[in-house]
Chain A
């Protein structure tokens, strides 16, 4: 894998390859010294042009646990604020010599654009509404861990689909791995065109709540008041929130997921977020081995290389 820009570039076998590699790295997390020398001597730049806490920390830890050198680049403290073009910024970083750039940007397509201006591997850590491939991988990893496989599972993704890179990447990854996906949202939160999307659309959450294996809740932006896609947060919660009452109608082994940060009491009740159904903290924990697998896939000798297993096993010594 040269870059990781979108799950759309990956086939089912590629996704499964990364997940399998991630299982190896998950074992590393349990060791006294959770670190392997796999990327020793490699330099990874965290180029976060948009604020992020969990994704940034997760990538940072993943790179360090692979023994890579990590450089943090915060847009707020950089030349970007002075009006420098993205091309200039990237070429400047590139001139310092680096092996991978992990990019988060508020605009769709920036990671893809960056590949023209650097020889480094580019890993998309979330771009605009477009894609968040490592989130999709860690969510798939978490569900595989829970259910063994996604084949035949029914997943409802509920909330602001239109503005969500997580929804776009997860629909693609979940369906490629054999799950069926239903989008649950009012029309004002759905993309205007869903042509070609392998999904069903449901406007009534109660109609599917008992049939699903996974309720994947998306964050509702409380900040936006103008052009609001729904009348009030209260009305949204009453129709689309995963309330305690609604969660009670879920199948006994059905689970709840959320990419964070959560608006407790809006899209998900705090009791549900903290319940046994909730995989939210597993999602966060799994982010590290999955991102180790991704960094290793773009910088290491290749995920199907026989040395892979040795590197992981040998690292404990």
Chain B
């Protein structure tokens, strides 16, 4: 008896939730787009910085200034680009850019990076 009531409640909750999610799904998408953008930018910038940092430390240790730093810089750039490419293949990015708008309320921004 109480069980029936609960089922009814959860059904109505689900309905309300769906209705409300439909309403603010656009704002949510904008939010996760901003998240993706900040991730992409930091990957690119930090990639170069970290590679040059590693190079600088190795140089100081091996006394080969400034060669390792210069050699590692393009590798850092490449690593940043690789990370951004992986980011763009992630589920989250596909949801945002695939244009499946309206088909279903955007899922809460949970993604899964494809790392193969």
Chains A and B form a bound pair: no
Using a CB–CB cutoff of 8 Å, the interface residues on chain A facing chain B are none
Using a CB–CB cutoff of 8 Å, the interface residues on chain B facing chain A are none
